[in-house]
Amino acid sequence: MSKQKLLVMKFGGTSVGTPPAMAQAVEIVRQARQDWPSVVVVTSALSGVTNLLLQSAQQAMQGTYHAAESQLRQMHQAIADQLINDMARRAQARQEINHLLAEFTNLCRAIEILGEATPRALDAVASLGERMSVRLLAAALESAGVPAQFVDSTQFIVTDAHFQDAHPDMEATKRRVRQILEPLTSQGRVPVVTGFIGATTEGVITTLGRGGSDYSAGILGAALPADDVWIWTDVDGVMSADPRVAPEARTIPELTYREIAELAYYGAKVLHPKTIRPVIETGIGLRICNTFNPTHPGTRIVSDRSAESTVVKAVTAIRGQRMITIEGRGMLGVPGVAARTFAAVASTGTSVPLITQASSEQSICFAVPSNTTEQVVAALTKAFAAELADRDIDKIWAAAEVVIITVVGIGMIHTPGIAGKIFTALGRDKINVIAIAQGSSEVSISMVVEAKEADHAVRTLHSLILEENAHG
């Protein structure tokens, strides 16, 4: 590997979740330092911790809180005991963890007394997972002879006050990131930075949304800037399909930014979709690799221009969706139906993964997660009360559960007839397609199928991918 300058490596929850996993992460960092003059580490909370923290807050709200504190203490202490050799250092790490756990207990008590938890309070609770994990990982690195320093990203990831889904201010973040991290890297220390969290300009803790540690790595990579960002997870990069559904699925060696963006958006769980944007904008290399199989090259994300010719690369599924339809012959004349529809949906905080409109304009149809349908239909019924009364809109309803299957590949742009092949294959296997949408980028085609046919559809389309690639 060529001597480049700065590498950001992000470890996911499973990569630091147990003593052997974290030991492996430590080894990965130790080795990377031989090839890279500067390494910055970003880490998630230990796997399961964020869930446990938020569950506790939920219970506190309902007055049924029973302390998860001892479970959390045990998880973190097991790691401290096994990976921090120096006794004084171990005692210090324990004390820091205890301190954060005391903060956790206080927050839960406050929530219990108030009987409510604001998004701001939930972010304070959720932030504790990463604040604990960085302290352990930094100490474990030092035990392995790697000079390291934990850093709370609340010091430099500056965000708005949109708690639970905060948006970074990149300019402010850039200035502070350099101020705080450069002194460390220039001394040859490895900063170990909390993923997932930031703070407002007033210093109030925010989070970037669940799974947001990847995003933190992207933000940091862009702000420094890094030459490369590597996301360490527990699978060999991005697979051509979910191997539990399609056993012949294999790692995709190279994906373009647009392909990975579509895949992340359409349910491939390997990468938080927001990670990609800051990284593309600065042209930073991105790689997804496996902590538990570190010699595997994983998946490289390359610029859209350097795309290889493979037409279709992957198929994914978003499960647990329902299609909502707004239908009425009078809709043709009603102004702004689509705008009002999606404003009403947005008011419920629901995001819409797929939209189709028949050209007759007599219906609009879109998917939303099943658990939001009641709320969404209620919001629409309210928004169109007048049109419903006048019979311009006949009905608004949610159909049975469906799955959105998406086929992704940048080569589709230049390859006529690929949609034909997709639907021929599905037709041959007697899979009924309920709705179709093609991404405007032409990098993906999505189709909606009944939930019970989803796995079959994934296998059919994955076979098509294998065939196409064999010819390719």
Summarize as ranges the residues that interact with ligand ASP (CB under 6 A). Answer: 13, 44-45, 50, 129, 195-196, 210-213
Shortest distance in whole angstroms from residue 13 CB to Mg ion:
6
133 binds, among Mg ion, ligand ASP, none (CB under 5 to 8 A by kind): none
How many degrees, rounded to 5, is the angle at CA 113 between CA 196 and CA 152?
A: 20
From residue 185, alpha-carbon distances to 7, 27, 133, 160, 224 in Å are 11, 19, 20, 28, 11
d(CA 158, CA 139): 26
d(CA 76, CA 303): 39
Q: Which residue is nearest to ligand ASP (CB)?
A: 213
Q: List Cβ neighbours of 189 (8 Å cut-off, separation of 6 or more).
A: 147, 148, 149
198 binds, among ligand ASP, Mg ion, none (CB under 5 to 8 A by kind): none
Q: Extract the tokens encoding 68.
A: 């998860």
Which residue, 75 or 393, is less far from Mg ion as judged by CB? 75
- The 10 Å Cβ neighbour count of residue 421 is 17
Single-letter amino acid, residue 389: A
Which residue, 196 or 384, is less far from ligand ASP as judged by CB? 196
d(CA 109, CA 99): 16
Which residue, 270 or 365, is less far from ligand ASP as judged by CB? 270
d(CA 290, CA 236): 5
196 binds, among Mg ion, ligand ASP, none (CB under 5 to 8 A by kind): ligand ASP
- Work out whether 17 is an interface residue with Mg ion (CB under 5 A): no
Shortest distance in whole angstroms from residue 44 CB to ligand ASP:
3
Residue in 12, 17, 191, 439 binding Mg ion, rule: CB under 5 A: 12
d(CA 354, CA 266): 10
Shortest distance in whole angstroms from residue 216 CB to Mg ion:
10
Which residue, 65 or 196, is less far from ligand ASP as judged by CB? 196
Shortest distance in whole angstroms from residue 14 CB to Mg ion:
8
Residue 417 phi, psi dihedral angles, 5° rounding: 90, 0
129 binds, among Mg ion, ligand ASP, none (CB under 5 to 8 A by kind): ligand ASP
Which residue, 89 or 210, is less far from ligand ASP as judged by CB? 210
Q: Which positions from 175 through 214 interact with Mg ion, judged by CB under 5 A?
A: 211
CA nearest 301: which of 383, 358, 217, 357? 217
Which residue, 191 or 212, is less far from ligand ASP as judged by CB? 212
Shortest distance in whole angstroms from residue 28 CB to ligand ASP:
17
For the range 111-115, what are the long-range contacts, defined as Cβ-Cβ under 8 Å and sequence gap of 24 or more? 111/57, 111/60, 111/61, 111/65, 112/60, 112/61, 112/63, 112/65, 115/61, 115/63
Which residue, 58 or 438, is less far from ligand ASP as judged by CB? 58
210 binds, among Mg ion, ligand ASP, none (CB under 5 to 8 A by kind): ligand ASP
d(CA 296, CA 79): 26
Total number of residues that touch Mg ion (CB under 5 A): 2
Shortest distance in whole angstroms from residue 52 CB to ligand ASP:
10
Residues that bind Mg ion (CB under 5 A): 12, 211
